[in-house]
């Protein structure tokens, strides 16, 4: 009887006028609580109620309606545009006889229904990590989220289960190539015309446990105070022909993957650690480079020679023993006077080359390397700092010199190869860098700093000033190194061209350069590397680095959880500034930690985090800068997020 009441009709129309609807698109962001937010492309955030969050997952891209009613803003999600989960990795759990899968992504807090069987009739167990596919989404009209299990990865009881998860996540191989060596390799007969250098006293210097030994050195003094160095490199291409099954495997893998306590070789171990490895007292085929250095440390280019050779390493030495002996520490010493003389000459050579590079190229500040000690249960026992000592520098200087020679040789003879390049700064950062430096009364041109001369000039100025903040900030602006078919400068090394060929049993790009160098030596027809191979190498390198980073962060989180030293004080260097805090690296063990903004200053409205300049200001005064050293304690460890939270003291 009230439906036609004039007063009610008038009131209804009045209320309807106060309701308006706007359509938006955005990405769902979850929180620690049940509510969430919808983030638009313009970085605006809209509140999502717990009821709306039940429909979606963190990361889903959706279409929604904002309803404005009586000055209230209500967001209703209407349509799924792109789900965050399609094919994903997750862990199977069991609750009250019902099986669920939890996504590996720690930001997705949903437990998703699943069956224990897949279409291959595989029975999955609780604790299994698997690939799954989301086939039911609540925004698609289903009552529940449901996933179909596709492929078994590893069980949680496996001591190295996390390594397997990360390798699967980035589509990297978990084991060495499974291939019958006897059927798939043979020594290439047309390479039998090799120079016999087995009478020369070559030595190798590596880590104690290295089995895939890829370089050996012979050195002697020549007339006029010149030095002759022969760098002999293991030659897997003498067994692996172009386009063969094993060659395609190496191309697809592109690299040997090195992770703490775990490595996956590019080539079968019987090849990389035996048949091709430059093991002591074994005759091995190699590609050699003879380099003559003048008394000032420069390379006499016209005397550089590449040739095929047979060598026999006399001794396998370690970085530790060589460094200790040269620094007159420890009890180890070479077993012959001739090796003693060679080590002394190698030390003098490395110092000579280091000085030459300081004056003619670029050498950046050395940073310590950290080594994880992992037991056979996949547990982290300890973390050690490994400083770069004289033994490491000997090999490093020899390899850099050999790579410089290869780059020049390929450039002059072919004009192409697999080159390591570095552009310095991209266009945006080069302009910003120039503006940034003006504040420190350093006036440079944005185009000039991306030339070899200008880039070197910039870093000579920074090094002379000795300002850690400037050095760290400029380093942050720089682009990443890339691989190119055509020769381009490597500005970070301060070199016109640079091409690696010294690790062919670990890098496919080095194998390609071996084949190019050998083709020049043998005067064969030469094909330019295909661009698709270059893309694959760059992508595999990126995925290797990402997997390594995630594994290291997970190990660090477990390490702090294990030692439970929340009161211990650590020194940490600030390496980045975010809008909500600081990223720092603990100097003692290399762990990355995050320091939230509220630990830095209690009043958020008084703080400005400037990521571009790498500073944090409180009331317009600089309180923290990149490169500053803080004393911190560990206050929280989040294993699932691979995150360690610290607080300054």
- Is 214 catalytic? The answer is yes
- Is 206 catalytic? The answer is yes
Helix (H, G, I), strand (E, B) or coil at 169: helix
Contacts 24+ apart (CB under 8 A), 69-74: 69/18, 69/19, 70/15, 70/18, 73/46, 73/47, 74/49
Are the beta carbons of 118 and 56 closer than 8 angstroms?
Answer: no
- Is 628 catalytic? The answer is no
Select which of 60, 128, 215, 628 is catalytic.
Answer: 215
Count CA atoms closer than 13 A to 346's CA, side-chain side: 31
Select which of 60, 128, 214, 628 is catalytic.
Answer: 214
563 CB neighbour count, 10 Å cutoff: 12
- Is 567 catalytic? The answer is no
Q: How many residues does the chain have?
A: 649
Q: At what angle do helices 319-326 and 390-413 cross, to 10 degrees?
A: 110
Select which of 212, 235, 247, 628 is catalytic.
Answer: 212
CA 293 – CA 270 distance, rounded (Å): 36
Select which of 100, 239, 319, 556 is catalytic.
Answer: 319
Select which of 253, 284, 357, 506 is catalytic.
Answer: 506
Name which of 11, 12, 26, 30 is nearest 61 in CA terms.
26
Give Cα separations from 192 to 188, 201, 248, 310, 513 (angstroms).
Answer: 8, 22, 24, 10, 20
- If phi over 0 gives left and psi between -120 and 50 gives alpha, with beta otherwise, what is residue 614? left
- Is 357 catalytic? The answer is no
Are the beta carbons of 560 and 591 closer than 8 angstroms?
Answer: yes
**Residue 218, both tokens:** 């012979």
Calculate the CA dihedral of residues 130, 135, 138, 140 and round it to 10 degrees. 160
548 CB neighbour count, 10 Å cutoff: 16
- Is 498 catalytic? The answer is no
The 3-state secondary structure of 254-266 reads CECEEECCEEECC
CB-count exposure of residue 255 (10 Å: 0-12, 13-18, 19+): buried
Are the beta carbons of 117 and 97 closer than 8 angstroms?
Answer: no
DSSP string, 182-222: HHH----GGG---EE-TTS-EEEEE-TT--S--EEEEEEE-
**Residue 495, both tokens:** 């070199």
Residue owning tokens 């691979």: 642
User: Which residues does the annotation mark as catalytic?
Assistant: 206, 212, 214-215, 319, 506
């Amino acid at each position: 009887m009230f439906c036609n009441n004039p007063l009610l009709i008038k009131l209804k129309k009045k209320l309807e006028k106060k309701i308006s609807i706007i359509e938006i698109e955005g990405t769902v962001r979850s929180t620690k609580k049940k509510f969430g937010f919808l983030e638009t492309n313009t970085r605006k955030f809209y509140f999502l109620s717990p009821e709306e969050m039940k429909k979606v997952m963190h990361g889903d891209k959706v279409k929604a309606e904002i309803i404005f009613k009586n000055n209230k803003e209500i967001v209703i999600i209407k349509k799924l545009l792109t789900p965050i989960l399609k094919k994903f990795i997750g862990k199977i759990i069991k609750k009250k006889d019902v099986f669920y899968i939890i996504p590996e992504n720690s930001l997705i807090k949903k437990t998703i229904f699943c069956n224990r069987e897949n279409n291959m009739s595989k029975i999955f167990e609780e604790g299994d990590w698997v690939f799954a596919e989301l086939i039911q989404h609540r925004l698609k009209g289903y009552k529940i989220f449901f996933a179909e299990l596709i492929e078994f990865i590893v069980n949680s009881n496996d001591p190295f289960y996390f390594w397997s998860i990360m390798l699967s996540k980035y589509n990297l191989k978990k084991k060495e190539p499974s291939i019958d060596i006897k059927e798939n390799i043979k020594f290439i007969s047309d390479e039998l015309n090799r120079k016999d250098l087995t009478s020369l006293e070559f030595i190798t210097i590596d880590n104690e446990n290295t089995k895939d030994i890829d370089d050996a050195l012979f050195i002697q003094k020549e007339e006029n105070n010149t030095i002759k160095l022969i760098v002999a490199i293991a030659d897997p291409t003498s067994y692996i022909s172009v386009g063969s099954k094993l060659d395609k495997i190496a191309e697809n893998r592109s690299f040997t993957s090195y992770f703490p306590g775990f490595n996956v070789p590019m080539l079968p171990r019987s090849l990389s650690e035996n048949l091709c490895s430059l093991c002591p007292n074994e005759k091995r085929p190699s590609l050699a480079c003879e380099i003559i250095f003048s008394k000032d440390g420069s390379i006499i280019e016209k005397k550089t020679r590449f040739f095929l050779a047979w060598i026999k390493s006399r001794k396998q030495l370690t970085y530790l023993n060589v460094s200790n002996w040269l620094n007159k520490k420890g009890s180890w010493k070479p077993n012959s006077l001739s090796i003693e003389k060679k080590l002394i000459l190698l030390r003098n050579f490395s110092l000579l080359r280091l000085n030459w590079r300081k004056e003619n190229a670029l050498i950046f500040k050395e940073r310590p390397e950290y080594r994880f000690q992992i037991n056979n249960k996949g547990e982290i026992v300890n973390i050690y700092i490994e400083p770069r000592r004289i033994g490491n520098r000997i090999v490093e200087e020899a390899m850099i010199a050999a790579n410089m020679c290869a780059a020049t040789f390929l450039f002059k003879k072919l004009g192409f190869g697999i080159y390591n390049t570095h552009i310095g700064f991209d266009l945006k950062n080069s302009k910003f860098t120039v503006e940034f430096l003006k504040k420190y009364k350093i006036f440079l041109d944005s185009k000039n700093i991306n030339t070899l001369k200008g880039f070197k000039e910039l870093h000579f100025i920074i090094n002379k000033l000795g300002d850690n903040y400037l050095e760290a900030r400029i380093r942050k602006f720089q682009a990443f190194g890339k691989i190119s078919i055509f020769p381009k400068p490597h500005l970070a090394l301060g070199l016109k061209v640079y091409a690696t060929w010294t690790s062919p049993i670990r890098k496919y790009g080095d194998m390609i350069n071996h084949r190019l160098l050998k083709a020049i030596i043998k005067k064969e027809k030469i094909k330019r590397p295909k661009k698709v191979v270059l893309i694959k190498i760059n992508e595999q390198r990126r995925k290797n680095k990402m997997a390594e980073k995630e594994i290291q962060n997970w190990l660090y989180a477990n390490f702090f959880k294990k030692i439970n030293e929340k009161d211990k004080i650590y020194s940490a260097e600030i390496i980045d500034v975010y809008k909500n805090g600081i990223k720092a690296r603990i100097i003692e063990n290399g762990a990355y930690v995050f320091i939230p903004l509220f630990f830095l200053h209690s009043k958020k409205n008084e703080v400005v985090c400037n990521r571009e300049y790498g500073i944090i200001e409180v009331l317009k005064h600089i309180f923290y800068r990149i490169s500053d050293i803080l004393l911190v304690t560990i206050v929280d460890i989040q294993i699932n997020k691979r995150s360690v939270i610290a607080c300054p003291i």
